[in-house]
């Protein structure tokens, strides 16, 4: 018998990401995915039960990957500000390098496609940031404010700055990253 091709799923994922990036989730359709991935429509249904399952499956996969990537490279035992900068740089670079993926996740987050399980995946991504902020507070570096508010402030800033970079095709230099970080740092320290 013939086995499933392990590459096909990634092919379908990539086609989906590209199409959503180009025209938004609302315009996504199975025929287009097939064409973009150079597969017959029926083939997609070998790997996914339905369009909804495909979307949820891709969403899950991206969420998992993303959480890994951001926290992977924090230097253990480094001073607070160093860790903060590492996290910030990781986050920004990650958002840019995997722009398509993040765009897809964002579009899904406010759609009717996501199932209950998918909707819960957000929480855990903040865990690492919250821990780091707690440490900053203990060291009397960080303002005594709600972690959720501090995090929202920094991530909101980072996201919008990435959006700006993509729109204006700004090349991310070290100087640019340092500038963006300074804004966030100055805001959270007391």
Partner DNA sequence: TCTTTTACCGAATAATTATTCCATTATCTT
Partner DNA sequence: AAGATAATGGAATAATTATTCGGTAAAAGA
CA nearest 14: which of 74, 73, 61? 61
Backbone angles phi, psi at 189, to 5 degrees: -75, 155
Instruction: Go through 9-21 and write b for each residue having 16 or more CB atoms within 10 A of its CB, e for each that does not.
Output: bebbbebbbbbbe
Under the criterion CB under 7 A, does residue 116 sit at the interface with DNA? no
Q: How far apart are CA 129 and CA 97, in angstroms?
A: 21
Under the criterion CB under 8 A, does residue 120 sit at the interface with its own copies? no
Contacting residue, 65, 82, 148, 166, with its own copies by CB under 8 A: 148
Question: Which of the listed partners (DNA, its own copies, none) does 102 bind, with a CB threshold of 5 to 8 Å by partner kind?
Answer: none
Token pair, residue 102, equals: 């993040």
Question: Which of the listed partners (DNA, its own copies, none) does 120 bind, with a CB threshold of 5 to 8 Å by partner kind?
Answer: none
Under the criterion CB under 7 A, does residue 152 sit at the interface with DNA? no
Under the criterion CB under 7 A, does residue 111 sit at the interface with DNA? no
Under the criterion CB under 7 A, does residue 29 sit at the interface with DNA? yes
Q: Which is nearer to DNA, 57 or 147 (CB)?
A: 57
Contacting residue, 26, 31, 72, 116, with its own copies by CB under 8 A: 26
Runs of H (alpha helix) within 72-173: 80-97, 99-109, 116-120, 123-138, 147-168
Q: Would you tell me the crossing angle of helices 80-97 and 123-138 to the nearest 10 degrees?
A: 160
CB of 81 to its own copies, least distance (A): 15
Under the criterion CB under 8 A, does residue 161 sit at the interface with its own copies? yes
CB 61 within 8 A of CB 16: no
Q: Which is nearer to DNA, 30 or 96 (CB)?
A: 30
Token pair, residue 47, equals: 């790997």
Q: How far apart are CA 90 and CA 111, in angstroms?
A: 27
Under the criterion CB under 8 A, does residue 130 sit at the interface with its own copies? no
CB of 36 to DNA, least distance (A): 12
Q: Could you list the residues that contact its own copies (CB under 8 A)? A: 23-27, 103, 107, 110-113, 143, 145, 148-150, 152-161, 163-164, 168, 179-180, 182-184, 186-189
């Amino acid at each position: 018998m013939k086995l499933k091709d392990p590459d096909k799923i990634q092919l379908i994922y990539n086609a989906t990401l590209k199409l959503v990036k180009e025209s938004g989730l609302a315009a996504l359709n199975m025929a287009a995915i097939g064409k973009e991935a150079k597969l017959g429509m029926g083939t997609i249904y070998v790997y996914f039960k339905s369009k909804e399952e495909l979307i949820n499956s891709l969403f899950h996969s991206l969420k998992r990957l993303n959480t890994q990537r951001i926290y992977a490279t924090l230097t253990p035992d480094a001073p607070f500000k160093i860790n903060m900068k590492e996290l910030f740089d990781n986050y920004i670079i990650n958002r840019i390098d995997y722009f398509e993926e993040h765009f897809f996740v964002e579009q899904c987050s406010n759609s009717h496609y996501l199932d209950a399980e998918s909707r819960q995946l957000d929480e855990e991504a903040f865990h690492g940031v919250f821990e780091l902020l707690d440490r900053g507070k203990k060291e009397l570096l960080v303002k005594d404010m709600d972690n959720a508010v501090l995090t929202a402030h920094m991530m909101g800033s980072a996201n919008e700055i990435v959006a700006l970079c993509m729109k204006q095709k700004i090349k991310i230099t070290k100087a640019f990253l340092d500038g963006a970080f300074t804004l966030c740092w100055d805001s959270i320290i007391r």
